[in-house]
Structure 1
Amino acid sequence: MKKTGITLSSLLLIAGLLAGCSSDNKGSNSAAEATLKDGKYDPPIKITIAKQQDENAGKYINGESLNDNVLTRWGTKNLGITIETTLLGGDAAQYNTKLRLALTGSEKLPDVLPVYDTSLENDLIQSGLVKDITEDINKYMPDRLKEIYKQYPTTFNPVIQDGKVYGMAISPNLTEGEVMLIRQDWLDKLNLKAPTTIDEFEKVIAAFTNDDPDGDGKQDTYGFDFSGKDSYNTGWVSDSVMIFSAFTGKNLPGSWHEENGKLTYGSVADGNKEALAKLRDWYSKGYLNKELATQGAWDALADFTEGKAGIIIGRPWLYGSVKDVEANVKGAKISAYPTINGVSGDKTYQSGQLNDGVFMFNKDFNNMEAFFLYYDKLYDAAFGTGDFKYGYAQGYDYDIVDGQVTFDSKKFNTPLDAVQGVGKMAFTKNTPSVDGPGKSFEDLAGGAKADTGVLMRSEALDQTMKDGYVISYKNSESLLPSAFNGPPTKTMQSSWEQLTTMEKETFTKIIYSKEPLSAYDDFVKQWNEKGGTKITEEVNAWYENASKVDVMSNMGLK
């Protein structure tokens, strides 16, 4: 868990002093004052939200801004609902800090709170400042959304306490898996094939390092580019988890795996030592990026984009973020490939993601029906229906030129350098999806005609990205969501930060050859002694209890 700077004990002390004046944020009109007629509120109501910006958000055209853009105006005009961001954070740490300040009264707590940290979710529940939405889901959630949430019952685990539901997953959906993006021109120049085993992978990255694949007469390239700053299992881009899984199977670093009804922590499972030995060897030979321990997932992309590295692993859309190398380096070509098989011959696994955070709600928020109305409408972009058949806004994320729908921003009636991410202007932070790991791309590859908005958007992507999504869909069984996604256990609250810091430092020092390989055995021993054994017991007790709790019926989701 990341350090937040505010402890739960101090939080609850202050929150107790502030009880009764924690929030007056009920929107510009209460539910009793506003009338919903023909799908629109009159007079209009306001919903305030918290928002974490990511790397690609906050980009606006036409003089628009956070609270005045094409999507906020659509909501006011068509639904009588004005969305206003009143708490804004940049990266995850800053955003979490601002939410914690809101809990103490230093910041006003908005109506709708997207939360991305299970520790913070638990603290919000304990504070008494967020509402039980069990009945709201039953009463107000549209049937279309209910059908989606029925598919992902475990996403409620972090926000259920004492049989009450204090939140809901943000856009639940099994997201796409990761693929290898490889410099195809380097493979071709060196007469190599894409690797399918750990030995073939080593052969390729050795050649990419030593055999001058860019032809400049210098040994200035390397094989495998990934991030080790935050963890060795990023789950989205610049990932190295494939190498660990090659030796550990389904036991992934930083994740909990269930087998025969028991949960185990992946970072202390058999096989990690062998994976670290392999990475250690590769690092000493120059096959890996030298700054991997100081580069975050997004930062690590730079070497690949600049033509210095030959392989990077991430979700299929990663191609869109690194394809500049094809424009900037003569002859550069990227291809997408499946991740390699493990040492036993079985496929490797990777972390599956079922949702990006949860929605929680201010206890004084009275417009849940309006929230669900707006949220359901955002899903029109996922289903290709309603106002958002092709995208959220013509001239922003699609256009119609000479009677034909186009998603190429340079061909818009008013050309743009890049498509506007209108979905990132919403409180979901990303456009909701029901495509899973890439069903629409598999359908297109199978000959389906691009005759719906969803299929048309998928068809319009770069071929390399489409290839990646097909690979993702075909290998969807390799996606493993962590079996533990509940609130931090008692011992986690006091020991988890220390344990995860020890884990990351040990793994990095071994890879850097600053500690002997035997340091991994010492780490496992200390991990258990310093709370790991107790945490494992608590996690398994949670898992056993979670399997017995049935709140889905109370929410009308059965």
Structure 2
Amino acid sequence: MMKKMKKNKRKVAALSALIASQLLLAACSSGGEKASSETEKFDPNSKVDVSWTAILHTPSTPTDTILKKIEEETNSNIKFNWVPDASKEERITAALASGELSDIISLTMLTNSSVRQSLKAGMFWEVGEYLDDYDNLKLISEEMRTAASIEGKLYGVPFQKDLARSGLLLRKDWLDKLGLKAPTTLDELYEVAKAFTEGDPDGNGKDDTVGFGDRNELRYGNFKTLSSYFGTPNGWAVDENGKFTAEFETQAYKDTMEYSRKLYENGYVDKDFAVTPKNDQMEKFAQGKTGIFTGLVGITGLKNLAQGIQNEMEIVPVNKIKSPDGEYHIWSENSGIGGLMAFPKSEVKTEAELKRLLQFVNDLIDEEVFMLMTGGIEGEHYEVGENGEFKILDNEKWQQDVQPFSSSRPSEITHNIIDGDPDKQLVNEQIKENADFAVLDPTVPLESQTASERGTELEKIIIDATIKYIMGDIDEKGFDAEVEKWKKSGGDSMREEFEAAYEKANK
């Protein structure tokens, strides 16, 4: 599985570089001006110092075990500036405002107003013209490049992810104890949440379980996925005449709010969801306090967290909940784009430096490095079976050494792994299947000045109103009033700008 020739190639490359340097020194004595320009050329074999602001999705930062191996494979010295996922919006926007940046910044919030303004303002290198010069980067599809671009300009290397990764993880052992099957409809899902809350699924005779866990965001918590199941558009819908409708202007969105409110009123969802960060949501599931988790990719983390606490825990992934229209729908996160690895001009001052960093990112996609960031060191963290199945050997060690790096892989789709954990392999297959009924956001490749400048501020109006409705603090009339406020505050301008951009793109 692992290629063994790369280091030998580097030795040959290093020898070639040494010969070239000797020739350059000879040229120096007869043509100093030409030699000076030659030394400024991009050298893909030079060792590079890289500072990288990356997002941390685990409770703690990794050890240096895998970092040293990554540095060896990429001929680099890497300094990670880890930003916890829960505080990424605040920390990244503050860094952009202050100009305290790294060589590479993981910009995972492409709809954030501050991020988009910074990209459009020219703070970062445009990299579209360079990608085809690298063996891995050139494989990034035109569709992904377009989706990750702003007004046709690509301001970083796209994080490549599967098209749609959402779905549900349910306690299978709880289903079995209560004589239930995995849900296939919204009504069945509601009944499972009710049973998990009221039916004593853990058998301890106490009223201490809740159906749905959730967290303090609509997008990656329950709401966005539930709204997909109701048939809500992903962000916006566009009709045959090019007219745009915001998702929260649809009946399906309101139906999702009503469903969520009913769950909340009856105690079938965590009452503290509005103040619960992701890590706490995961901990509650792992501790047996909740039985439904939204997000298929979380299965390995949940199983690891449960070790020693709930060794009897079994999880069943579900990616198909039939919508009221009888079809399957699931939202796509930025058309498979997980953000950008962007290069600030304040830190990366020359084209030669940019090219060397692009070579670094390209090398991160090599199978050797992908496996380091996914599994760790073969024989120490994982093994590969006779049929090619991948299996973690020591979960605790893997979590400490490897797991934090996995979310920073530039591509999750270039290499395929047959997971030795049948549950995780089923998740992988369901995520691939999701692509068949994924709902795309039509505005991903479009530009709106209002969205760039005030999109996050406007979005907060709707987020707050939705949460208030779910918690019973406002009624439908109150929600409609907030939608009108959104329209007058810039929502209608945003709509008009998207429609103009859509018409221009489809001429």
Work out whether 1:180 is the aligned partner of 2:159: no
Matched, 1:149 2:137: no
SS of 1:298 mapped into structure 2: helix
TM-score, length-scaled by structure 1: 0.72
Which residue number in structure 2 is paired with residue 40 of structure 1?
A: 45
Question: Structure 2 vs 1, CA of residues 159 and 315 (structure 1 numbering), >3 Å: closer, same or farther?
Answer: farther
List runs of 5+ in structure 2 lacking aligned partners.
1-35
Partner of 1:15: none
The 2-side partners of 1:341 and 1:156 are apart by: 30
Determine whether 1:158 maps to 2:137: no
* Structure 1: gaps spanning 5 or more residues: 1-29, 77-81, 436-453, 549-558
| Secondary structure class of the residue paired with 1:357 | strand
Distance 2:496 2:289 in 1: 45
CA 1:537–1:111 in structure 2 vs 1: closer, same or farther (change >3 Å)? same
1:328 aligned counterpart, secondary structure: coil
CA contact (8 A) 1:71 1:422 kept: no
What is the aligned partner in structure 1 of residue 270 from structure 2? 289
Mapped partners of 1:396, 1:31: distance in 2: 46
Query: Which of 483, 496, 499 lines up with 1:537 in the alignment?
Result: 496
Deviations 1:418-453 (A, max 9, x none): 47328828xx82252225xxxxxxxxxxxxxxxxxx
Structure 1 residues 543 and 299: alpha-carbon distance in aligned structure 2, compared to 1, 3 A threshold: farther
Structure-2 separation of matches of 1:519 and 1:191: 41
Q: 1:100 to 1:547 in 2, by over 3 A?
A: farther
Q: Deviations over 1:359-405 (max 9, x none)?
A: 33344232233233332222222898xx9799665466546899x99
Q: What is the RMSD of the two structures over their aligned residues, measured on CA atoms?
A: 3.6
Following superposition of structure 1 onto structure 2, how do residues 53-452 of structure 1 map, counting pairs within 5 Å? 53-56=55-58, 58-61=61-64, 69-76=68-75, 82-85=76-79, 89-90=83-84, 91-92=87-88, 93-102=90-99, 107=100, 109-118=101-110, 119-137=113-131, 141-158=133-150, 160=152, 165-227=153-215, 229-230=216-217, 232-234=218-220, 238-247=221-230, 249-252=231-234, 255-260=235-240, 261-325=242-306, 327-329=308-310, 331-353=312-334, 354-363=336-345, 364-367=349-352, 368-381=354-367, 393-394=377-378, 397-398=381-382, 407-410=391-394, 416=397, 418=399, 420-421=401-402, 424=405, 429-430=408-409, 432-434=411-413
SS at match of 2:325: coil
Q: How much does 1:516 deviate?
A: 2.0
1:40 partner amino acid: N
Q: Percent identity?
A: 21
CA distance in 1, matches of 2:456, 2:373: 45
Give, in whole Å, the separation in 2 of the partners of 1:390 and 1:207. 36
SS of the equivalent of 2:56 reads coil
CA distance in 1, matches of 2:340, 2:300: 28
Kindly tell me the number of residue pairs found equivalent between the two proteins.
459
> Deviation digits for residues 218-258 of structure 1, max 9, x if unmatched?
2221211122x23x221xxx4332322333x1414xx2233
Task: Pick the aligned partner of 1:459 from 402, 410, 419.
Answer: 419
Tell me: higher relative CO, structure 1 or 2? Use CA pairs within 8 A at least 6 residues apart: 2
- The equivalent residue for 1:18 is none
* CA displacement, residues 404-427 of structure 1 (integer Å, 9 cap, x when unaligned): 99743339xxx93547328828xx
Q: TM-score, normalised by structure 2?
A: 0.79
